[in-house]
Chains A and B, each alone.
Chain A
């Protein structure tokens, strides 16, 4: 699978039965819908991420395509205060996070799930900027 952002081949990291597609060039992360389900372990949060209506007119400079269906990714405003957008496939194939975005998104949820996810991400990227 090629990176949505820089088109380089992504490697797959596996920790505790969770797989993350990771780009070594730009630090981008692709989470497909199945991985998101395993990672969050909460159907409501997964549905919120994958189905929440897009309410943004933000236009990205470069075009980003879903690695599975190659349709344009939508932008989803997840943090209006800090202007954080993540990229989402309209057909619910998955989400793309630029470097550091995943941590910020997880930080928005102060729940047990988000703590679990944050600790998993810490486990994967111990020395990386995401921590």
Chain B
């Protein structure tokens, strides 16, 4: 498998280097166009500096910026135990060393993406709409695809390629804008003061720079998308192998592409990260060349043609069957692995989201759980009541049977505190502990570990860390703020 990752990476690195060269040529030409004597080197240096700074920001804060801009919220297993269960399964199936953090996006549009610096610090985000319409096998297919992106080291690579694309676009845009506003004055003055030949030479450089500044972002984008599309096929193949059930992913892709909901938080930068292009309405009619993803119908047909098995060779032969010609989509190293990977027979699980009502309700409940609502049942009549986090009453009468219902306000506050502190923990070093809990006061208090286990702290607890007795997670305990 490592060989497969390396082979995939080699091809992508070639494209990545071409993008880098384009960035350097662009910087050089713009430098030369403005400052004819040695300005090219300066332009080159500025282009690399901008890329370097952006890369550093991307490395240290890229995932949290993108997760925040996508409206993703980190959740605990009690919000959606099945999702955690599936992520855990795929972590084991793919051999990842760490459990990815799980995020839910409050949107009815079904979609998912993975992000992170390394497999140790990575996250999987799914929308609430996805959880509402997929059954377990389909959800497993989607999570397996995202886990494959983490496993194949795609996420880090795509981040850098995306940053390089952003730099090319930014520099080109600034150059063309500056010409517009200056009206090309600087070059005109210089050509008057210098001799006629150098003036002509500089005019040529200027024209070349303008043409390149217009073409470079388009070419860089096409290269970026080529890298992205190739990796989607590989992630589909790896996902099918992890679950040994290609139909799960195929069926999920079909449902996702059938949705008419638009993902409002997605944009051109984040679109290639998602399992299915979230910008459905826009660019639908564009040629395949400019698409962020391979055609979804083709991905589904390939997965459904894998009748013989769920291995890489099976995916490759299904790809050839669908395309009707011999062309390789997976590296040769993967195809050398001839070991049989039998396809699983699916369980007779009831399809989730079979009814529109229950699907809608499930979506609503996931969104409420993400937003820290409390789900209560009246002890007298069984009425299901959802209480918002802003609710401050300790008790209220059931609207149906008037039985007094107690509101565990402390638990609501604790769930919020745990999530908040986990978020803060991520921004710190996150080396010695897996979770942070900030004490509210020096009295008895309880909180929930991310695994769902309730942990009680005595007023006399004076340590800085404790281990969860259920999942062995190391939890940092912070003192109350006075």
**Which residues of A pack against B, CB within 8 Å?**
1-2, 9-15, 17, 19, 22, 24, 34, 38, 123-128
Scan B430-460; emit 1 where CB is below 8 A from any A CB, else 0. Answer: 0000000000000000000000000000000
Interface flags for B291-315 (1: CB within 8 Å of A; 0: not) read 0000000000000000000000000
Return chain B residues, CB-CB under 8 Å to A128.
399-400
- Is the CB–CB distance between B386 and A126 below 8 Å? no
Which of B361, B393, B399, B401 has the most chain A CB within a 10 Å cutoff?
B399
Q: A11-B386, A12-B386 are in contact. Are A126 and B391 (CB under 8 A)?
A: no
A-B CB proximity, top 3 nearest: A12-B386, A14-B384, A9-B390
Residues of A close to B387: CB separation below 8 A: 11-12
In the complex, which residues of chain B have a beta carbon less than 8 angstroms from the beta carbon of A24?
A: 393, 396-397, 399
Q: Which of B357, B368, B393 contacts A17 (CB 8 A)?
A: B357
A-B contact pairs, 15 of them (CB 8 A): A9-B392, A11-B391, A11-B396, A12-B373, A12-B387, A13-B399, A24-B399, A34-B360, A38-B360, A123-B400, A124-B383, A125-B399, A125-B400, A126-B400, A127-B400
Alpha-carbon gap, A128 to B390, bound state (A): 25
Chain B residues with CB below 8 A from A127, complex form: 400-402
**Bound-state Cα–Cα, A124 to B384, Å:** 10
The contact of B399 among A1, A22, A38, by CB within 8 Å, is: A22
Total contacting residues, chain B, CB less than 8 A: 24
Q: How far is the CB of B52 from chain A (nearest CB, A)?
A: 44
B1 located at the interface, meaning its Cβ lies under 8 Å from any Cβ of chain A in the complex: no
Which residue of chain A has its CB nearest to the CB of B374?
A11
Contact partners of A2 in chain B: CB under 8 A:
390
Question: Which of B's residues lie within 8 Å of A, judged by CB?
Answer: 357-358, 360-361, 364, 368, 373, 381, 383-388, 390-393, 396-397, 399-402
Give the distance in Å from the alpha carbon of A34 to the alpha carbon of B384 in the complex: 19
Given A24-B399, A126-B381, A126-B401, A11:B358 Cβ within 8 A: no
A11 close to B357 (CB less than 8 A): no
CA distance A109 to B384 in the complex (A): 28
Distance between B146 CB and nearest chain A CB, rounded to angstroms? 29
A13 & B391 in contact (Cβ 8 Å cutoff): no
Closest to B397 in A: A24
Contacts of B373 in A (CB 8 A): 12
Task: Report the minimum CB–CB distance from B387 to chain A (whole Å).
Answer: 5
The answer to whether B361 and A17 have CB atoms under 8 Å apart is yes
Interchain nearest-CB distance for A77 vs B (Å): 28
CB distance from B356 to the nearest CB of A (A): 8
Residues of A within 8 A of B388 (CB): 1, 9-12
Give the docked Cα–Cα distance between A34 and B363 (Å): 13
Q: How far is the CA of A11 from the CA of B381 in the complex (A)?
A: 17
* B384 cross-chain contacts in A, Cβ below 8 A: 13-15
Q: Are A9 and B385 in contact (CB under 8 A)?
A: no
Residues of A with C-beta under 8 A to B399: 13, 22, 24, 124-125, 128
Contact partner, B385, options A12, A38, A123, Cβ 8 Å: A12
B358: A residues at CB distance < 8 A: 17
Nearest CB in chain A: distance from B395 CB, A: 11
> B383–A19 contact, CB under 8 A?
no
How far is it, in angstroms, between the C-alpha of A11 and the C-alpha of B397 when the chains are bound? Answer: 12
Residue of B nearest to A24 (CB): B396
A13-B396 Cα distance, complex, nearest whole Å: 13
Bound-state Cα–Cα, A125 to B401, Å: 8
- Complex CA gap A19/B358 in Å reads 12
Cβ of B391: which chain A residues have Cβ within 8 Å of it?
9, 11
Please state if B361 and A124 are interface contacts (CB–CB under 8 Å): no
Closest Cβ of chain B: how far from A11's Cβ, in Å? 5
Nearest to A19 among chain B residues (CB) is: B364
**Within 8 Å CB of B400, what residues of A?**
13, 123-128
9 further contact pairs, Cβ within 8 A, besides A11-B391, A12-B388, A38-B357: A2-B390, A12-B368, A12-B385, A14-B383, A15-B384, A19-B364, A124-B383, A124-B399, A127-B400
B residues in contact with A13, CB < 8 Å: 383-386, 399-400
Q: Once bound together, how far apart are the Cα atoms of A2 and B400, in whole Å?
A: 21
Q: Which residues from chain B contact A14 at a C-beta distance below 8 Å?
A: 361, 383-386
> Cβ of A34: which chain B residues have Cβ within 8 Å of it?
360
Chain A proximity of B413: nearest CB distance (Å): 15
